[in-house]
Structure formats: structure tokens, C-alpha cells
Structure 1
Amino acid sequence: MRMFGLALLATMVMTGNAMAAPKWAIVVHGGAGVIERADLSAEQEAAYRAAMERVTRAGAEVLADGGSALDAIEAAIHLLEDDPLFNSGRGAVFTAEGRNELDASIMDGATLSAGAVAGVTRTRHPISLARQVMTASPHVMLMGEGADTFSREQGLEQVEPGYFYTERRWRSLEKFLAEHGLPVPPKPQGATKPDEAAALAHDEGKYGTVGVVALDRAGHVAAGTSTGGTTGKRWGRVGDSPIIGAGTYASDASCAVSATGTGEYFIRLTVARDICALVELKGMSLQAAADEVIQKKLTALGGDGGVIAVAPDGQMAWSYNTSGMYRARMAEGEPLVVGIYKDEP
């Protein structure tokens, strides 16, 4: 048995809970960045809090009914990918060429199986495609046209590129291109008028990503992350979100982590895996491990962003060095907690 498993078993025996079933737990993020009270209207704040509550409760319902951590993650991220408030799926930012190129990844802590996609353009729910890569292919990551082809072959829901269009994200692109002296491309074919929710979305900067980590009743953890990347990205840029070990990692021997932030720094530090290693190999608490990597290592390197995490023993944590992060957590026997700003729990 792994060292972590032995330590956890010993703790359970000492506390008289050797036969107790693990509780379920879920933690959700909707991106970190420049998110301050002065920047959000009351209506915007209410919209984000409501969205985070809705998503977290949806995942919690799956777990409470005995569903797997993977199922809870997929269900919750579907809602985030369909919500134009967030930089994933329908709310994704545009590349300099005026395209929405979507990235996602998912990892199963019980088996260390993982799947990821990068540069997807027609799959409504990239997180489901990442899961299909994990379960229905011999690979871990697919990208671009090949990933879209695999998605069609797997029967996943396909949409026209215009489905992902929101006016707010297009205006952000126009501003970015003007600042960098680059031409504005034509709008995607089939671009539709955004719904009212899109008008409430806040531009948190370049950090927007969504992610979920979960612990199920079987004692297994998993992690998933989905993003549209950064506004005006060029040359096929890929960030940390689809990189296993950087933006996403899960192991029953330690914890599950999903990250959001300036991806290049998270890749260089292998942030998600590093947090899990501190838990497994140094015996650090989940919160201490997350803070060690985010508040010290990431900050010292000049990167910014944050993480959410959950451990097989039910520990939940988040840590970020930006002014805010859309976040929520819930566990069996514990109330829902939703936060946005730095001064909230």
C-alpha cells in the first residue's frame, strides 16, 4: 500500500473511524485575476455567485447520489462551458485570428488515467472530449483538427464556430489587436447575438479558466479544467490547462488540483503535480502545500493565478495570489461556501 494510504489508515484507526465511509467533497473555480469589489456591479456579483452556487450544487448532487468524481466534474464543467460568464466553451476568448480555440483536461486519481485536448473549435463541451481521449483512445492528448475529428467520431455534440461567439469577448479582442497594431479579422461565420448573461460578464484579464476537483464516496479524487486560453493568443499558443501536471493533476496517493492563471508559469513550475508531491512526499497539509507553491514559488517566479484542491481524506483548499478568484466548495455535512474577493474565507 502506498505511504499516503498507510498514514491515512493509521489516522482513521486512531480516531475510531476505521470503518467510516469517506465523505464526498467538491471544489470549483471560475478563474482568477483582477477581480475587485470596485470593478463588479451588484448585478454582476450576484450573477457570478449564483453561477458558482448552481455549478457546485450540480456536482454535489452527483456525488451525494453515489456518482463518481469524474462524473461530478464533467457535469459541473458542462454548466461552466455553457455559461458566457466564464472563459470556457461559449464564453471563450478569441485568438488573434478571430477563432475560439478551446483546451481541456481531466484526470482520474484512482488510475492516473488522463485525457486532454488543445485547440478544439467545434466541440460544445471540450471536457467531455478530454474524457473520451482518456477512456476511448490510447493517448493522453489530442490537438487541433485531429481532436475535432476524434470528437466527431465519438459522437460528441458538434457546433458551428459562431456558437462560441459573445460580443464582449469580441470587443476585448478588438481592443487587444488595436493596442498591438494587428488587423481585426472578420467575425466567425454564424456569430449570434449574445444572451443577457453575457452582458454581465466581467473581464478578469488573461487568467480566466474553469475547473473542478472532487472526492467521491469510494474515496477517489479527480480533477478537470477547461479554458478558452488568452485573448489575442497567436501561433497556436497552448497554456497549462490541458497540460497534465501543470494545470490539472489527480492521484489518490495525494490530492487533485485544478489551476487557473498565467499558463506559462504554471507549466514551468508543474504547479498541480508539485502540490500533490508536497502532500504525498513531505506530508504537508493540503492548504500548506497549495500555499507553498502559489504564494511562494509562483509569486517568486513572477507568475500569478490560483488553484483549487481536494484530498482523499476530505481536505479542501484554494490558494491564489491575484486580487480575486471565483470559487466555491461543498462537502457532505458541510455548507456551501462561495467566494470572489481576497478578504472572503
Structure 2
Amino acid sequence: MSARQLRRPLALAIHGGAGVIERNSLGADAERAIHAELDRALDAGHAVLTTGGTALDAVEVAVALLEDSPYFNAGYGSVFTADGRHELDASIMDGHGRRAGAVAGLSTVRHPVRLARRVLEESPHVFLIGAGAEQYADTHSDIERVPNDWFATEARREQLRDAQHREQGAWQASQDLRGKYFGTVGAVALDSHGHVAAATSTGGMTNKRWGRVGDSPLIGAGTWADAHCAVSCTGWGEYYIRNAVAHDIAARVAYRGDRVRVATEDVILGEVPQHGGDGGAIAIDRDGNIALVLNTTGMYRGWVHPDGQRGTAIYRDA
């Protein structure tokens, strides 16, 4: 890598989902563990960038680590569907050339983000779902597989029991569970080539039915990257789909010249709640400016700025 490349800014941001996370509700041990998991993902993703790796590599590595943590709703620790199983979704997008890959309804793929990367690189398609996506995984021996119950944790099982106890019909349940039993993980990065990328992964919504899919695997809704910025979203997916949130943020940067933080705040604090939704988003532009914005009481998040300043946070007020 040339000296000129080394002088280019590097930056990374990650999230582990937004929702109702009240201060003191987690306990000190859980808070420490969550901060440690976020730091581990930051370390891994930033190491890729500092050794000349691409933004696409960095977001894949960071998200795959978050998928292995029981504290986030993606991979191991994913929420349960109504029938007591796990259905996982993910997407990844490279701002350089706008290549994208997405998968939904997975049941045995340990790291959905890695399969989404294979779709981006090796498939003529962008989005594979269900049995077809599993069959595509069968053709890649390096994609690790696990039994469906590998994703289960007792905390998620308790959430399912709670959701089903409160249920008064499928739509009423979704209203009652606002911000509580869904979430995602995601990452955005800027590399030494000046390129950005984004990735998002989720276990969906607790007690979901009928093959429900949210915004996380949908390019333009939960994930977006172009030449100007990269975005990964987290929240109530139906509202992120209806408002094409990830693309809306990026479009404000690209077409109107908004700063990335202003664009993210306008959408997450304005458009999304105006239409009844909640959640958050992380975004990064080609200069390394980072936005981490939420309209809920908490969002697991972490960042490394171009000057090396880094941190992690859980609650809205820090």
C-alpha cells in the first residue's frame, strides 16, 4: 500500500440493535459484556482496514463476530418465530460499483452475512430466500452450517413465552411489542481506497409468522452503500421498508449535499417516527464522518473515527 493510501482516512461504526433499553435494566455484568463484544467487533473490523483491507471485508468481519454473540438478535441469540424456530436474514453492499448480496429465511447458516457476501460475489442474483438460499449455501463448503436450535438462548425463549402470553392476535401483538423484541446488528466502514460498505444481519422479530421479513436484508431499506456514504439500519422493519430509510439517508447526502449526520437525523428523528416507526441507523461518508442516530431509549453501538478516537455506548444519553 502506498504512502498516499496510508494517509487516507479509515473509519468504522457498528450497531447491535436499537429498542427499549432502559438504563439499569441490563445489570452491570451484562453491560460490561456488551461493551466487550462491541469492542471485539470494532477491533476485528478496524484491523482489516489498517492492514489495507477493503470496507467490504471489514463490515463482513465485524458483523460475523456480532452474529456469534448471544447479546444481539442475529446469528447465535436470534429471536424465536411463532413456531419456535429461527429464521435469519442479512445483506451486504459495496459502495464501489454498488454490488449487493442478500439472504432471508435462513435456518442453518451460522453467519448469514458471509452467505450474503457469497451472493454478492459469486451469484448473478442479489437476493436469495428460504430453501433456495439454503441450497445455495450447500454449494459453498466454506459456509459453516449448524442445526437450527444452535441459535437458541434461554433469554430469547423467555421473550417468546412473554410475547405469546401477551398476544391478542398477530397484528395486535406487533403493536404491543413496539421496540422490545426485534433488533439487528450492522456495520459501515471507510477503507484506504476511499470506498465505503455496509452490512446488516438479524434474527427478525420475536413471534413472527408467515415468513415475515423485515428491512435488514432489503437493499435500500435496511442497508445501502454508494460512492458517497454507507448506511445500516435497525428498528421496526415495516416502517423502514415503507420509507426506504437507508436509501433516503444516502440520497440526501448524494443529491442534496446534506452532511451525513444531518441526513441521518432528518430521517431517523423525522420521517420514521412521523410514520409510526422507531429505531436507529448508523452511517459513514467517504470522508470518514460517522452518524449514530436513534429515536429509542437505547442502541448498542461502537465507532472508530479517522483520528483513532473510539468508543462504545448502549443508552441514548451515552
- The aligned residue for residue 208 of structure 1 is 183
1:99-146 per-residue CA deviation (whole Å, 9 max, x = no partner) reads: 100000000000101000000000110000001111111101000000
1:173 aligns with 2:160: yes
What is the SS of the residue equivalent to 1:91?
Answer: coil
1:3-50 per-residue CA deviation (whole Å, 9 max, x = no partner) reads: xxxxxxxxxxxxxxx998421100000000111213121111111111
- The aligned residue for residue 150 of structure 1 is 136
Q: Output the TM-score relative to the length of structure 1.
A: 0.86
- The aligned residue for residue 320 of structure 1 is 294
Distance 2:104 2:5 in 1: 42
1:208-262 per-residue CA deviation (whole Å, 9 max, x = no partner) reads: 100000000000000000000000000000000000000000001x200000000
Q: Is the 8 A contact 1:152 1:158 kept in 2?
A: no
1:292-335 per-residue CA deviation (whole Å, 9 max, x = no partner) reads: 10111111111100000001111111111001111110034222
Which moved further from structure 2: 161-170 or 285-294? 161-170
Q: Is the 8 A contact 1:207 1:305 kept in 2?
A: no
What is the SS of the residue equivalent to 1:162?
Answer: helix
Alpha-carbon distance, 1:179 to partner: 2.1
Distance 1:136 1:121 in 2: 21
Q: Is the 8 A contact 1:229 1:239 kept in 2?
A: yes
Distance 2:185 2:201 in 1: 5
- The aligned residue for residue 175 of structure 2 is none
Q: Is the 8 A contact 1:122 1:161 kept in 2?
A: yes
- The aligned residue for residue 304 of structure 2 is 330
- The aligned residue for residue 235 of structure 1 is 210
Which residue among 80, 83, 94 is the counterpart of 2:66?
80
Unpaired segments ≥5 residues, structure 2: 170-178
- The aligned residue for residue 172 of structure 2 is none
1:161 aligns with 2:148: yes
Alpha-carbon distance, 1:180 to partner: 2.1
Alpha carbons of 1:342 and 1:150: their partners in 2 closer, same or farther (altered >3 Å)?
A: same
Alpha-carbon distance, 1:206 to partner: 2.6
Distance 2:289 2:182 in 1: 25
- The aligned residue for residue 277 of structure 2 is 303
How is 1:81-160 mapped onto 2 (pairs within 5 angstroms)? 81-155=67-141, 156-160=143-147
Distance 2:67 2:5 in 1: 38
Alpha-carbon distance, 1:181 to partner: 6.3
- The aligned residue for residue 275 of structure 1 is 249
Which moved further from structure 2: 327-336 or 70-79? 327-336
- The aligned residue for residue 31 of structure 2 is 45
Distance 2:40 2:296 in 1: 24
Q: Output the TM-score relative to the length of structure 2.
A: 0.93
Sequence identity (%): 51
Unpaired segments ≥5 residues, structure 1: 1-17, 183-203
Amino acid at match of 2:213: V
Q: Is the 8 A contact 1:86 1:210 kept in 2?
A: yes
Q: Is the 8 A contact 1:22 1:314 kept in 2?
A: no
- The aligned residue for residue 226 of structure 2 is 251
- The aligned residue for residue 192 of structure 2 is 217
Q: Is the 8 A contact 1:60 1:331 kept in 2?
A: no
Q: Is the 8 A contact 1:261 1:304 kept in 2?
A: yes
What is the SS of the residue equivalent to 2:8?
Answer: coil
